[in-house]
Homo-oligomer: A and B are copies of this chain.
Amino acid sequence: MEILLTNDDGIYAPAIAVLKETLKDLGNVTVVAPDVEQSGASHSITFNRPIIARKVFLNNTFFGYGISGSPADCVKLAVRELMEKPADIIVSGINMGANIGINVLHSGTVAAAIEGAIIGIPSLAVSLEYSEIPEIKNAAMFAKNIVAHLTEHTISKGTLLNINIPALQKENIKGVKVTHQHAFGFNERFDRHTDPDGQTFYWLSGDGKPSSYGQGTDMEAICNGYISITPLQFDMTNYNALSKISDLASSSL
Chain A residues in the interface with B (C-beta under 8 A): 39-54, 72-73, 76-77, 80-81, 102, 104-106, 111, 114, 118-120, 142, 145-146, 149-150, 153-156, 158-159, 161, 173, 175-178, 180-181, 183-185, 188-190, 192-193, 195, 199-204, 227, 229-242, 244-253
Contact = CB atoms under 8 A, between A and B. Distances in A.
Contacts of A72: 106
Nearest to A170: B253
Contact of A234 (B111, B183, B247): B183
A145 B46 contact: no
B119 A185 contact: yes
B233 A50 contact: no
A213 to B, nearest CB: 15
A137 to B, nearest CB: 15
Main secondary structure of the interface of A (DSSP, over half): mixed
B244 A231 contact: yes
A253 B106 contact: no
B244 A154 contact: yes
Contact of A248 (B146, B199, B244): B146
Nearest to A105: B43
Contact of A202 (B77, B153, B193, B245): B77
A177 B199 CA distance: 47
B242 A233 contact: no
Contacts of A244: 153-156, 231
Contacts of A42: 41-45, 111
Given A142-B252, A180-B237, A233-B236, 8 more contacts: A44-B106, A50-B201, A52-B199, A104-B236, A119-B185, A145-B253, A154-B248, A178-B249
The 4 closest A-B pairs by CB, nearest first: A231-B241, A183-B235, A42-B42, A233-B238
Q: Considering residues A76, A105, A154, A244, which has the most beta carbons from chain B within 10 angstroms of its beta carbon?
A: A105
